[in-house]
Amino acid sequence: MRKIVSLLAICFIAVNLNGQNEKHEKQIETLYEHALNKGKAYDWLNHLSNKIGGRLSGSLNAERAVLWGEDELGSLGLDRVFLQDVMVPKWVRGTFEYASIITGPGMSTNVPVCALGGSIATPSSGLRANVVEVKSFEELEALGEEKVKGKFVFFNRPMPADLINTFEAYSKTVNQRSQGAARAARLGAVGVIVRSMNLRLDDYPHTGNMSYGDLPNSMRIPAAAISTNGAQLLSSMLTLNDKLNFYLKLDCKNFPDVPSHNVIGEIKGSEFPEEIIVVGGHLDSWDLGDGSHDDGAGIVQSMEVLRLFKSLNYKPKRTIRVVLYMNEENGLRGGSAYAKYAKQNNENHIFALESDAGGFSPRGFVFEATDQQFNQIKQWKSYFEPYMADRFELGGSGADIGPLRDGKVVLSGLRPDSQRYFDFHHAANDTFDAINKRELELGAAAMSSLVYLVDQNGF
Amino acid sequence: MRKIVSLLAICFIAVNLNGQNEKHEKQIETLYEHALNKGKAYDWLNHLSNKIGGRLSGSLNAERAVLWGEDELGSLGLDRVFLQDVMVPKWVRGTFEYASIITGPGMSTNVPVCALGGSIATPSSGLRANVVEVKSFEELEALGEEKVKGKFVFFNRPMPADLINTFEAYSKTVNQRSQGAARAARLGAVGVIVRSMNLRLDDYPHTGNMSYGDLPNSMRIPAAAISTNGAQLLSSMLTLNDKLNFYLKLDCKNFPDVPSHNVIGEIKGSEFPEEIIVVGGHLDSWDLGDGSHDDGAGIVQSMEVLRLFKSLNYKPKRTIRVVLYMNEENGLRGGSAYAKYAKQNNENHIFALESDAGGFSPRGFVFEATDQQFNQIKQWKSYFEPYMADRFELGGSGADIGPLRDGKVVLSGLRPDSQRYFDFHHAANDTFDAINKRELELGAAAMSSLVYLVDQNGF
């Protein structure tokens, strides 16, 4: 008899689990159907990219984006929409940036450059000097002050092409951009030129953040990115004539911090309102393009998660919050302020999801989680298999949600196909036409599905 | 003692298998490294797309592509390069195609159209008639001759957006293009207008093959594709005014078959030369764009497989053959002729791989195989996992290799991400700039790796 009862219990659990699975499968199917047939992400991005445009922290456009985000979230019938104050850095590119390679009197070739975010300007008449090319900081240090002083240092280590994950290739080269100026300045360089973080050969210089660290103001030198084609040209001209001159003129300027905002919206949980699931991207972008991939895509995908829930009349058990973080690119002030707010209010965040890797075809998610948590998450893989978004890995999730990390909350990042991302990243061609509607929507659907599963199951 | 021997045997096998695995992993890593750092696929495609261009069967360009293929394969130091004669259909678009929606005297709107491949021309003065819109053949039949006679039939069933695999969405709508004219003609229609097989709203009409089947010449009617934006416009104008006129002028023409060629190259196997592994794509393309995705990508990826083997000095055990098939698009004559040749020569094909789904980021492969064969193949999945090309499924492989199907040979198709494919398929924007170098190369590397594993292990 006991055996029969046990058997019945097992059957009941199995049937029940099966019923759960089917319910989840059905809900996820519905989320995908709506995202692909009646999605709003693409229209939203069209507005953000084409009606607002690039939105660097501290700019008028960034504030227009804040108001737009507040407005659009306000129209969704959420339980709460509010702005969180945050002070952000203000750096302005100025009206003019220009460079040329000068090989003799009247012999010069223009090359596409842009100031790196945070760089100081050149003197108003520009800066002209010899160039020394290096591939690494080790090479730079080996040259020493004698060979560097009074020159431009040209950092020309390309992103390695044979790494399948292009973000890995990025991480292997980006220190040239972020620390190059500080390193070169200590050896007496007058400026730095950095090969763009781009796997493709083209004419777009890619900007991005740089830091002088603790370098005194008096020692700071201007820093510019050069397009990959420009870098190839400069390098080959240097092999012909290492006495050539590089001319650089930058107009950029740092200002004191200015006020800005995170934009936050939420649906209150019906069963466990104190358990918070947060989804987001960053609302600021660099200024050269309109930031469609970085990170307009993440913004509209995150908003779409809550819109889909509302429009499908799905009532979450837990509180679902969307955060449009301000100032990921050059300060991370929004992400830090949000984590501080959460801590101050003793909020219990159980899951944070970020989309900040472009609006490309989703391949899966990356997680920062304990073994136990990740074991639970891996059981959901099969739900994503029909949608080809079932690559689940452990790894770094997203910059804005990083400050929430406390060993308990699960952090996650959407992982779209990475092959094309650095063709556009931080460059003038990161524009709306580089976005594929379906790919954007598939990302939003995958995010919605993951948030749904966390909401249903908790951790 | 026996136990110890068994144990030792197991250990030996395990160590040996492990050694094999490492050897294979290393070789695949090398293939990827070379494809990504020193690949030739992209340069080849640049030539095929930009120096030759669209290459419809029977055209001068198709013959230029044949000579180019023979030349390039000839330069690789293969054991044999030869042309296989094949007669192909010749259809010519002509110099002029034009359409407009006419709602009243002097009130007309041009819409982007193109003739479907195989269509007859309109009268030289064009064709003007009312339009009846349908979404399916059932709807068409229900209307009957009375409501169709003397009119254009406008097939306007969109590709369903919520199917994740866009080829599935294509298969659900393409009968409008392939059979629409024959169906409509039997009910007395004067012409057909078919919504382009495109998931995106844009202004590119997409051509593609159509057939009149056994419809007598006298009953044949012209057939054109209309861009998706044009289809939306026509449909909405029809709801306002179902008496509007559509004007269509096509200039196309069918000619008798002309001679052409498959281009074939091979490396003789060192151990099992009689076991043949064939890899290929189709050399012909439609004429509107330059056929970079369909199927220039497949051509250069297939050539790259053999080039990588030669340049890495890999000596295959089995015979590796590349076939650049002629006339996939409107006849499949090359694929059929190759299978016939193989049969006539009693050749033993063990594996055929085709790339004809675009040059996008590879997700995996599809196989036509027995259970036993597929079980063996699935054991190779882990080799592709680091390269994110490990989605292995059973299903239809490729058109050109279809005629080889005999229940024994394993057929396979590269499966790139499908989201963007129908943005370009058979349209004027299927051009070289729509190709991403890395994605193309990753496909070539994945194909090389699979061919390598088949060569090493056989079936």
Segment A25-43 mean pLDDT: 98
Average pLDDT along chain B: 96
Q: Determine whether the interchain pair A164/B363 forms a contact, defined as Cβ–Cβ distance below 8 Å.
A: no
What is the CATH code for A94-251?
3.50.30.30
* Residue of chain A minimizing CA distance to B439: A419
Question: Which of B36, B383, B388 best probes binding to A when mutated, by most A CB atoms within 10 angstroms?
Answer: B388
Positive or negative, the CA dihedral B209, B214, B220, B226 is negative
Residues A303 and A284: their CA atoms lie apart, in Å, by: 15
Segment B162-190 mean pLDDT: 98
Indicate whether B234 pLDDT > 70: yes
What's chain A look like in SS3?
A: CHHHHHHHHHHHHHHHHHHHHHHHHHHHHHHHHHHHHHCCHHHHHHHHHHHHCCCCCCCHHHHHHHHHHHHHHHCCCCCEEEEEEEEEEEEECCCCEEEEEEEECCEEEECCEEECECCCCCCCCCEEEEEEEECCHHHHHHHHHHHHCCCEEEECCCCCCCCCCHHHHHHCCCHHHHHHHHHHHHCCCCEEEEECCCCCCCCCCCCCECCCCCCCHHHCCCEEEECHHHHHHHHHHHHHCCCCEEEEEECCEEEEEEEEEEEEEEECCCCEEEEEEEEEEECCCCCCCCCHHHHHHHHHHHHHHHHHHHHCCCCCCEEEEEEEECCCCCCCHHHHHHHHHHHHCCCEEEEEEECCCCCCCEEEEEEECCHHHHHHHHCCHHHHHHHCCCEEEECCCCCCCHHHCCCCCEEEEEEECCCCHHHHCCCCCCCHHHCCHHHHHHHHHHHHHHHHHHHHHCC
What separation in angstroms does the CA of B253 have from each of B92, B188, B250, B321, B362?
5, 22, 9, 36, 38
Tell me which chain A residues have a C-beta less than 8 angstroms from the C-beta of B164. Answer: 32, 386-388, 442
Q: Determine whether the interchain pair B437/A388 forms a contact, defined as Cβ–Cβ distance below 8 Å.
A: no
pLDDT tens readout for residues B299-315: 999 999 999 999 999 99
Contacts for A229 with CB less than 8 Å, ≥ 6 apart? A112, A201, A202, A203
Tell me which chain A residues have a C-beta less than 8 angstroms from the C-beta of B361. Answer: 361, 417, 419
Question: Which of A70, A266, A304, A328 is an active site residue?
Answer: A328
Asked if B31-91+256-457 and B94-251 have one fold, the answer is no
Please report the pLDDT score of residue A207 as a whole number: 98
* Residue of chain A minimizing CA distance to B201: A437
Tell me which chain A residues have a C-beta less than 8 angstroms from the C-beta of B199. Answer: 438
Q: Are A102 and A245 in contact (CB under 8 A)?
A: yes
Where do the domains of chain A lie?
Answer: 29-91+256-457, 94-251
Segment B182-206 mean pLDDT: 98
**ipTM score assigned to the predicted complex:** 0.95
CA angle (B378 as vertex; B376, B383 as ends), nearest 5: 110
Residues A187 and B213: their CA atoms lie apart, in Å, by: 78
pLDDT band with cut points at 50, 70 and 90 for residue A6: low
Please report the pLDDT score of residue B338 as a whole number: 98
How close is the nearest chain A Cα to the Cα of B318, in Å?
A: 28
How close is the nearest chain B Cα to the Cα of A21, in Å?
A: 20
Tell me which chain A residues have a C-beta less than 8 angstroms from the C-beta of B33. Answer: 162
Average pLDDT along chain A: 96
pLDDT tens readout for residues B143-174: 999 999 999 999 999 999 999 999 999 999 99
Interface check A371 vs B, CB under 8 A: no
pLDDT tens readout for residues A361-390: 999 999 999 999 999 999 999 999 999 999
Q: Determine whether the interchain pair A423/B436 forms a contact, defined as Cβ–Cβ distance below 8 Å.
A: yes
Segment A407-436 mean pLDDT: 98
Q: Are A322 and A264 in contact (CB under 8 A)?
A: yes
Tell me which chain B residues have a C-beta less than 8 angstroms from the C-beta of A166. Answer: 438
Segment B252-269 mean pLDDT: 98
- In the numeric block, which tokens belong to residue B340? 């016939």
Question: Which of B37, B162, B392, B418 best probes binding to A when mutated, by most A CB atoms within 10 angstroms?
Answer: B162
How close is the nearest chain A Cα to the Cα of B439, in Å?
A: 7
- In the numeric block, which tokens belong to residue A44? 């939203």
pLDDT tens readout for residues B336-371: 999 999 999 999 999 999 999 999 999 999 999 999
Please report the pLDDT score of residue B19 as a whole number: 86
The pTM (predicted TM-score) of the whole model is 0.96
Residues A274 and A318: their CA atoms lie apart, in Å, by: 7
Fold for B31-91+256-457, please state it.
Answer: Aminopeptidase (3.40.630)
Centroid of chain to Cα B409? 20
Interface check A363 vs B, CB under 8 A: yes
Q: Determine whether the interchain pair B164/A387 forms a contact, defined as Cβ–Cβ distance below 8 Å.
A: yes
Question: Which of A164, A168, A199, A420 best probes binding to B when mutated, by most B CB atoms within 10 angstroms?
Answer: A164
Please report the pLDDT score of residue A18 as a whole number: 80
How close is the nearest chain A Cα to the Cα of B46, in Å?
A: 14
Q: Determine whether the interchain pair A162/B387 forms a contact, defined as Cβ–Cβ distance below 8 Å.
A: no
By DSSP bridging, strand B410-416 and strand B362-368 are: antiparallel
How close is the nearest chain A Cα to the Cα of B151, in Å?
A: 32
Please report the pLDDT score of residue A11 as a whole number: 57
- In the numeric block, which tokens belong to residue B126? 């064009």
Q: Determine whether the interchain pair B36/A200 forms a contact, defined as Cβ–Cβ distance below 8 Å.
A: no
Q: Which residues of B are catalytic?
A: 328
Interface check A32 vs B, CB under 8 A: yes
Tell me which chain B residues have a C-beta less than 8 angstroms from the C-beta of A161. Answer: 36-37, 438
What is the Cα gyration radius of chain B?
24
Size of interface A-B (CB pairs under 8 A): 58
* CATH architecture under which domain A29-91+256-457 falls: 3-Layer(aba) Sandwich (3.40)
Residues A247 and A123: their CA atoms lie apart, in Å, by: 11
In chain B, the percentage of residues whose pLDDT exceeds 70 is 97
What is the Cα gyration radius of chain A?
24
Tell me which chain B residues have a C-beta less than 8 angstroms from the C-beta of A388. Answer: 164, 363, 391
Residues B200 and B202: their CA atoms lie apart, in Å, by: 6
Helix (H, G, I), strand (E, B) or coil at B229: helix
Indicate whether B22 pLDDT > 60: yes
Please report the pLDDT score of residue A14 as a whole number: 63
Indicate whether B6 pLDDT > 70: no
Tell me which chain A residues have a C-beta less than 8 angstroms from the C-beta of B37. Answer: 161-162
Indicate whether B69 pLDDT > 70: yes
Q: Determine whether the interchain pair A32/B438 forms a contact, defined as Cβ–Cβ distance below 8 Å.
A: no
Segment B283-288 mean pLDDT: 98
Segment A4-15 mean pLDDT: 61
For the purposes of burial, counting CB atoms within 10 Å of the CB of B319, is it exposed (0-12), middle (13-18) or buried (19 or more)?
Answer: buried
How close is the nearest chain B Cα to the Cα of A294, in Å?
A: 19
Q: What are phi and psi of A8, to 5 degrees?
A: -60, -40
Please report the pLDDT score of residue A19 as a whole number: 86
Q: Are A195 and A226 in contact (CB under 8 A)?
A: yes
CB-nearest to A36 from B162, B386, B423 is B162
Indicate whether B112 pLDDT > 80: yes
Which regions of B283-430 does DSSP assign to beta strands (E)?
318-325, 348-354, 362-368, 391-394, 410-416
Residues A339 and A174: their CA atoms lie apart, in Å, by: 26
Within 10 Å of residue A345's Cβ, how many Cβ atoms?
9
CB-nearest to B438 from A199, A363, A437 is A199
Q: Are A312 and A440 in contact (CB under 8 A)?
A: no
Segment B223-252 mean pLDDT: 98
A22 is catalytic: no
Q: Determine whether the interchain pair B420/A442 forms a contact, defined as Cβ–Cβ distance below 8 Å.
A: no
Interface check A1 vs B, CB under 8 A: no
CB-nearest to B388 from A37, A164, A420 is A164
Tell me which chain A residues have a C-beta less than 8 angstroms from the C-beta of B442. Answer: 164, 419
CB-nearest to A388 from B32, B391, B437 is B391
